[in-house]
Amino acid sequence: MSLLEVTDLHTSFFTDAGEVKAVNGVSFFLDRGKVLGIVGESGSGKSVTAYSILQILAPTGRIVSGSIKLDGQELVGAGEKVMQDVRGNRISIIFQDPMTSLNPTYTIGHQLMEAIMLHTNRNKRQAWDRAVEMLRLVNINEPEKRMKQYPFEHSGGMRQRIMIAMALACEPDILIADEPTTALDVTIQAQILELMQDLQKKLGMAIIMITHDLGVIAQLCDEVVVMYAGSYCERGTADEVFYNPKHEYTKGLLRSIPTLDTVGQRLKPIIGTPIDLLNLPKGCPFAPRCDAAMKICVREAPKSQDINEFHKASCWMNVKALVEAQAALEEQPAAPDEAPEPAAAPAAIAEGGDDE
């Protein structure tokens, strides 16, 4: 059993303009001590997935269906009391913007101790010691002095360290990092990522790393979930997703980053613009921007296919490849009888044309 199991999660926001399906059937597992990356563009639902796990959605947002199991315990539908025990204690989160996630009117020490005293039965003195210990752990010099200072006296990188110290003070099993380095400079980003890797080794917690930066994912993550328009496109080990992408969106993303090989050439961008979550199409949400889109892609949303033990993707191209492989096998009369079963709807593929 995995530490965290998210199965077919659907989260929507009910606005005046209609239902915004922010998360649309996302599933993944997170094992103890592993780093899972969730990557996607703005509006792909990666942050909402994280907020759904902790149930800290905006008032208009609701988990519509699906299941989130922490160590076997179902969290969807669990009461506020259960969630209060989970938040901070077993799963904690650090946010994107370290400039606004600390309260400017309280000292660093006050805010750290508040978190510690809320979740453990330490008294004030012990909480102080623990807070100092945590600041030392995240490499902050003169922690005793820092405890009495206010957030404005610290730089962005320091504040993010303080947020990490606060998140880890109660030794959670899972740390969710929601774009922790997006607001920081490259050299400071490198410091923070290094710190997170160190702490992960030292404390052994699992991390969910939410980012739009494939570079951060490549550096840190064991497993990757790629999201587009609220649905997951692909998930697998980092090596599988980077070196053997099986979804057209992942392929497009990897092609559109400038690398050594693209110097002096044009990039190959994904055409079009992200879709409107208010009017999700019936078929694959990526189909309108996809070079390889077929008729079936517009008609029907693809189901998740197993590429191998470590890799799943939901793209009709994989089904097509399977069907073609099978057809090729059938043409040889002496072919062995172990042709792979197509995952879904081979008839629809057969009648679907190549271009649309």
Residues in contact with another protein by CB under 8 A are 41-42, 155, 157-158, 185-191, 193-194, 212-219, 238-239, 242-243, 252-254, 256-259, 262-263, 266-271, 273-274, 289
Structure tokens of 195?
């710190």
Q: Nearer to another protein by C-beta: 173 or 248?
A: 248
Q: Nearer to another protein by C-beta: 123 or 273?
A: 273
CA atoms within 13 A on the CB side of 38: 31
- The amino acid present at 261, given as its one-letter code, is D
To another protein, the closest distance from the beta carbon of 183 in angstroms equals 9
Alpha carbons 347 and 39: distance in angstroms, whole number: 33
Q: Nearer to another protein by C-beta: 27 or 237?
A: 237
Alpha carbons 34 and 211: distance in angstroms, whole number: 16
Q: Nearer to another protein by C-beta: 254 or 348?
A: 254
To another protein, the closest distance from the beta carbon of 249 in angstroms equals 9
To another protein, the closest distance from the beta carbon of 123 in angstroms equals 34
Alpha carbons 326 and 27: distance in angstroms, whole number: 29
To another protein, the closest distance from the beta carbon of 267 in angstroms equals 4
Q: Nearer to another protein by C-beta: 208 or 238?
A: 238
Q: Nearer to another protein by C-beta: 259 or 332?
A: 259
Cα–Cα separations (whole angstroms), residue 153 to 106, 146, 186: 12, 9, 21
Alpha carbons 3 and 72: distance in angstroms, whole number: 8
Alpha carbons 80 and 55: distance in angstroms, whole number: 9
Q: Nearer to another protein by C-beta: 76 or 99?
A: 99
To another protein, the closest distance from the beta carbon of 144 in angstroms equals 19
Q: Give bridge partners of residue 174 from the DSSP assignment.
A: 91, 206
Secondary structure element (H or E) that encloses residue 136, with its range: helix 124-137
What DSSP assignment string belongs to 156-209?
HHHHHHHHHHHHHTT--SEEEEESTTTTS-HHHHHHHHHHHHHHHHHH--EEEE
Alpha carbons 171 and 90: distance in angstroms, whole number: 7
